Amino acid sequence: MKLSVLGCGRWGSFIAWYAEKLGHKVMLWGREKSSHLRQLMSERRNDMLEFSQDTVFSSDLSRALEYSEYIFISISSQELRALMKDIPPSLLADKTIILCMKGLEEKTSLRLSEVTAEYLPHSSEIAVWVGPGHVQNFANDIPNCMVIDSHIEKTKKKLVHELSSKLIRFYYGSDMIGNEIGAASKNVIGIAAGILDGLGFTSLKGALMARGSYEISRLIKAMGGKANSAYGLAHLGDYEATVFSKYSRNRTFGELFVQGKPFDKLTEGISTAKAIVSLGEKLDIDLPICNAVNSAVNLGKSSEKIFSSLFLRNIKDEFYYF
């Protein structure tokens, strides 16, 4: 199998490295000014991974799109629309686009597959690759389980067959809405976890996990997905890597945010919090945790005041919506 990976950051580079390890032919694309791409082209390595001479690196987007019918995209979710606009539709014909990011478009609250679909010819297909896993762990042969989902069954089965290994066990997804919303919103829960750590309320992370997954299950259901997807690998299954891990950017951001310290790495949960709050308002869904995160990180309200009161809300049945 030949595949192209668009995005040479931490996760995009891993996808290229992983696919090459499985025996696939890979081209990894990055923008010409990318420091990540320059390092890869000159050293054939980054801070965590070493690449063989077989991996092709390129800053030529057309070349990367022509290289394979399978296009894996791993960039910032807020840059996806701009990337899709840059691609002539003719280069996307008969392609399978696999989205390997977790987020929602901030301005529209659209799922990333919905953004992508606006630019694809009818002959193209979309899949998503979501679930838990950090490059730091995979690079040290620590396995995990992930999900590939698509509306096209044969596409889903082809990708799972070609990408499964002892390092990553893939499951077939069955709910694009639930898996995309679950994967995006886990980053918001990750920020909440970091805020609790920063406030010294780490003991509340168990309650956060229980209430967070329940909160997102109701959002998924309201959007037309399957409520129990919130308890799958895309959301609850990703909590260990997001709520507790030292490698989680969203959790780290939340902790440093409370402490008034800067964090200059990509934190998808910031934009996703805005998008999810907007969805909650449109659908009239109570999303107290997502609202708390958005109020703290995007509206400048007191984290301590918001999160101290979050778990002291009006008394009600635990599963009052069921």
Instruction: Render 83-152 in DSSP notation, one character per residue.
Output: HHHHS-GGGGTT-EEEE----B-TTT--BHHHHHHTT--TT-EEEEEES---HHHHTTT--EEEEEEES-
Please say if 301 is a catalytic residue.
no
Six-digit token pair at 165?
A: 């290994």
221, two tokens: 């259901």
At residue 169, the 3 state secondary structure works out as strand
Bridge pairing between strands 144-150 and 125-130: antiparallel
End-to-end, the C-alpha distance of the chain in Å comes to 45
H helix and E strand count, the chain: 14, 8
Q: Yes or no: say if 109 and 273 are a contact pair by the CB < 8 Å rule.
A: no
Rounded alpha-carbon distances, angstroms, from residue 42 to 20, 50, 63: 19, 12, 20
Which position among 95, 102, 186, 205 bears the catalytic label? 186
Residues labelled catalytic? 186
